[in-house]
Amino acid sequence: MSSSAARITAVDTYDIRFPTSRELDGSDAMNPDPDYSAAYVVLRTSGDDTAGADTAGADTAGDDAGGGPEGHGFTFTIGRGNDVQVAAIEALRPHILGRSVDELCADPGSLARDLTGDSQLRWLGPEKGVMHMAIGAVVNAVWDLAAKRARKPLWQLLADATPEWLVSQVDFRYIADVLTPEDALRLLRQGREGSAERAGLLRESGFPGYTTSPGWLGYSDEKLTRLARQAVADGFTQIKLKVGADLADDVRRCRVARAVVGPGIRIAVDANQRWNVDEAIEWTKALAEFDPYWIEEPTSPDDVLGHAAIRKSVAPVKVATGEHVQNRIIFKQLLQAGAIDVLQIDAARVGGVNENLAILLLAAKFGVPVCPHAGGVGLCELVQHLSMFDYVALSGTTENRVIEYVDHLHDHFLDPVVIRDGRYMAPMSPGFSATMRPQSIAEFTFPDGTFWAADLDRQQKQQQQKQQKEQAA
Amino acid sequence: MSSSAARITAVDTYDIRFPTSRELDGSDAMNPDPDYSAAYVVLRTSGDDTAGADTAGADTAGDDAGGGPEGHGFTFTIGRGNDVQVAAIEALRPHILGRSVDELCADPGSLARDLTGDSQLRWLGPEKGVMHMAIGAVVNAVWDLAAKRARKPLWQLLADATPEWLVSQVDFRYIADVLTPEDALRLLRQGREGSAERAGLLRESGFPGYTTSPGWLGYSDEKLTRLARQAVADGFTQIKLKVGADLADDVRRCRVARAVVGPGIRIAVDANQRWNVDEAIEWTKALAEFDPYWIEEPTSPDDVLGHAAIRKSVAPVKVATGEHVQNRIIFKQLLQAGAIDVLQIDAARVGGVNENLAILLLAAKFGVPVCPHAGGVGLCELVQHLSMFDYVALSGTTENRVIEYVDHLHDHFLDPVVIRDGRYMAPMSPGFSATMRPQSIAEFTFPDGTFWAADLDRQQKQQQQKQQKEQAA
């Protein structure tokens, strides 16, 4: 990477919301009406940066004439509160504005530590919730920028990095009792063995996915049947159904799904935190006859000991969680307590790539497979890079590892995921696949984007017509 | 309570910040420069409410001519990010505006469940961090309003309530495996025995406190000596020292403090999450010769299993935590795992009075004493009510129970805490003691209040003078 005097010149934020609740896409027992949204951040850089400048024009949004490459990142939310998330990203601006792009990209971990360590902002977490997700968005934007400048997809940038440098990117605070820097170094050195061959296999045939598209609670049995059949035809070997609202419904839907896909396809079920510990055990046992592969989010993501109790009782059904696990410290305990069979990282919940490196290392230390949460908006685009790095240069295997796939909203990204025969194809463009199309940003920025402005206008007109009718009657 | 058609007419928010970092008050190993702040909310009600109207004029801020009593609440923060916290409170406004005051006050738990259950906002937690603290501020404001209308201090409103109603105010989700509604009812019925007598004792002689005023890290040994001596003279039987930045300093400061207060006064030490598990054990053992009563926040508040390991190793030094524990689910596990000797509730961290009721009940079930975190701005005012209720109508004892006291910023409240002989005197005014003086709000609202506007002006002038000098030189 060539040396440069480039600086971060702007930290621009966008409140982007898609009206997904109108179609019941994404409905589950806890989240019946999500409007998939992104609290989106763009790090702009000064134009005296030469590294990666030739690719920047093509794959960044709003890149003005004189600017260098941009870093894009976001927090995924499901609608209301996306503005709060944007405010949290903006609170981080002073830490980033004016920083040297070279220094940031050479050591994103240093920024990550500065952000989580802000002596006043950490009171709002620490390392959890809105403030921590904001940190994740900014840190991920730096990784996007670093990968663009290195002209590599992020998974490859990580896989090509030395074990020593990767270890320097991990914050071992609060996990060193279980994972030391020496442990991490050993795991990463082991992971390097055969990595070139695995990178070749990955480029050729991708990484296995599974699909949640058939299984939303709001769908009819007919739609479930059609989409489950389609999933198998599309090459997926695992599907997922949402459960937890009504046991009789769940039994019926599991029966329908099992009949459609046959015994050879894995069916995971997902309760989205709906249950207490006892309910989780009873309900999962009631669904056991349909051979569920895992029960996901059976209870609160905070309840380490609860998950351990559930796992003990529902085996051989596996226990999976992670999309709402707030940080590496909870993941550490889930592993220590033997509470999970499957660890589900999320690219935009924790403090960015750096914290996810820590979590992948913890999983590797315990030999627990990582099957990322995805879907929403842009989560598939991001998280595929982390699983691919894990395969190429850490765990070294795809066995029992699948990345969630949902066929929503990919068109809004410049480098959308590519699924072939139920597998995620390796991204080849530089960056973290996080860059949204400028026209999508313009259309779905809330409340002033063209879609929402027209929507508001429509609603106001309907309201007026209704009032006029009422007056006339 | 008389029936009324009153509604919530406004949910007004204020970003209030005090420049405490300039005096190093409140400095500790993780929070070296706090500007004690409040994301403050006022629920205004329509004037057709008669209940409590005669007291409302006297003890509420900004009460306009036609309005009924107001509910005041806040999240405590330490400066930056207070605006994010205000944004989170504002995101809750649609849930509250227009609600019936009668219904809200008769069942604050219903509002608490609506807020934590918001199908989109819960993604930002769930039940943790910025969004959950915002819920706590709003729920506490409703309790303030309810107590004002009932013309009782909050502790008394709770102590007078029936066990059945109190149980209805608790959300047992995710804790029912350890505490059932039946358990809670039994504990509250037991707690009622002798409660009238204890209420009398409380009104007479208050509830024991301890003071952190001598122990801030930024203070010199001379100031520590003077303030520790003063604390004993003031009747406190426990003081607390901040530790964790430098072991040699801590040894010296503990030695100084022990020499000043003698063997009969308890000295707690507080690491404010500075350590990993192993460090916590080593450091605490190194301080053991000074007979610390408890080690507080030895590591991350998220690390249940870590606290359990520390407690096992440092006994007989007790382990205390809670001010940053995000919700009842983590407290449940700290108790299940035998990880703490002392449970430190905070009035403004979790989801308000309702969740703190759940936590007090969990502590009672496990027989673990509750010693609240306080200090900051307004935390003493709030949390005293919860300990006093616990004493009068739940645990029934003050043995090994003390409320933290710090002598900061009480003057900004209309009903400030009263400390006599090291004890919190029972508040007698209606409400939750949460109401800040209107002139304090006007002065310290950030950045437009009179203090901050003048401060900014001063800074700009200094900057100009500096530039003029530089140009002249």
Whether pLDDT at B281 is above 50: yes
Residue contact B174–A306, C-beta within 8 A: yes
What are the pLDDT digits (tens) for A117-164? 999 999 999 999 999 999 999 999 999 999 999 999 999 999 999 999
Mean pLDDT of chain A: 94
What are the pLDDT digits (tens) for B290-301? 999 999 999 999
How far off is chain B from A430, nearest CA to CA, in Å? 30
Placement of tokens 């609670």 in the chain: A217
3-state DSSP assignment of residue B75: strand
What are the pLDDT digits (tens) for A176-226? 999 999 999 999 999 999 999 999 999 999 999 999 989 888 889 999 999
User: A91: nearest CA in chain B?
Assistant: B81
Report percent pLDDT > 70 for chain A: 95
Residue contact B119–A332, C-beta within 8 A: no
A contacts of B332 (beta carbons < 8 Å): 303
Query: What is the Cα–Cα distance from A55 to A46, expressed in whole angstroms?
Result: 15
Q: Taking phi first (over 0 means left), then psi (-120 to 50 degrees means alpha), and beta for anything else, what does residue A370 get? A: beta
**Residue A147: both structure tokens together:** 């990968």
For position B33, what pLDDT does the model report?
Answer: 84
Residue contact B81–A121, C-beta within 8 A: yes
> What order of strands is seen across the sheet that includes strand A8-17?
A8-17, A37-45, A71-77
What are the pLDDT digits (tens) for A12-64? 999 999 998 887 666 677 777 889 999 999 999 997 655 544 443 344 434 44
ipTM attached to this prediction: 0.95
For position B66, what pLDDT does the model report?
Answer: 65
For position A64, what pLDDT does the model report?
Answer: 47
The bridge status of strand A423-424 relative to strand A419-420 is: antiparallel
List Cβ neighbours of B301 (8 Å cut-off, separation of 6 or more).
A126, B273, B321, B322, B323, B324, B325, B326, B330
Residue B302 carries which side chain, given as an amino acid letter?
Answer: D
**Residue B412: both structure tokens together:** 């900004």
Query: Among B274, B395, B373, B251, which Cα is nearest to B321's?
Result: B373
- Dihedral (C-alpha) A181, A183, A184, A188: value to the nearest 10 degrees? 140
User: What structural domains does chain B harbor?
Assistant: 8-152 (3.30.390.10), 195-424 (3.20.20.120)
For position B50, what pLDDT does the model report?
Answer: 53
Whether pLDDT at B63 is above 60: no
Query: What is the Cα–Cα distance from A394 to A178, expressed in whole angstroms?
Result: 18
- Dihedral (C-alpha) A399, A405, A411, A415: value to the nearest 10 degrees? -20
3-state DSSP assignment of residue A159: helix
Give the pLDDT band of residue B367 (cuts 50, 70, 90). Answer: very high
Strand partners of residue B299? none
Give the pLDDT band of residue A471 (cuts 50, 70, 90). Answer: confident
Whether pLDDT at A345 is above 70: yes
What are the pLDDT digits (tens) for A389-417? 999 999 999 999 999 999 989 999 999 99
For position A50, what pLDDT does the model report?
Answer: 53
Half-sphere exposure of A398 (CA within 13 A, CB side): 21
B contacts of A122 (beta carbons < 8 Å): 30-31
Query: What is the Cα–Cα distance from A157 to A388, expressed in whole angstroms?
Result: 11
Residues of A marked active site are found at 242, 373
**Residue B423: both structure tokens together:** 């004890």
What are the pLDDT digits (tens) for B11-60? 999 999 999 888 766 677 777 788 999 999 999 999 765 554 444 334 44
Query: What is the Cα–Cα distance from B378 to B144, expressed in whole angstroms?
Result: 13
Residue contact A88–B85, C-beta within 8 A: no
For position A176, what pLDDT does the model report?
Answer: 98
- Dihedral (C-alpha) A356, A362, A365, A368: value to the nearest 10 degrees? -80
How far off is chain A from B173, nearest CA to CA, in Å? 6
Residue contact B302–A326, C-beta within 8 A: yes
List Cβ neighbours of B465 (8 Å cut-off, separation of 6 or more).
none
For position B11, what pLDDT does the model report?
Answer: 98
For position B233, what pLDDT does the model report?
Answer: 97
A233 by Cβ neighbours in 10 Å (0-12 / 13-18 / 19+) ranks as: exposed
How many CB atoms neighbour CB B339 within 10 A?
Answer: 21
What are the pLDDT digits (tens) for B178-226? 999 999 999 999 999 999 999 999 999 999 999 998 988 888 999 999 9
- Choose, out of A24, A123, A326, the residue to mutate when testing the contact with B (most B CBs < 10 Å): A123
How far off is chain A from B72, nearest CA to CA, in Å? 20
Give the pLDDT band of residue B117 (cuts 50, 70, 90). Answer: very high
Name the pTM for this structure: 0.95
Query: What is the Cα–Cα distance from A415 to A198, expressed in whole angstroms?
Result: 23
Beta strands in B18-122 (DSSP E): 37-45, 71-77
The predicted model gives B415-430 an average pLDDT of: 98
Query: What is the Cα–Cα distance from B402 to B419, expressed in whole angstroms?
Result: 13
How far off is chain A from B189, nearest CA to CA, in Å? 25
Residue contact A303–B130, C-beta within 8 A: no
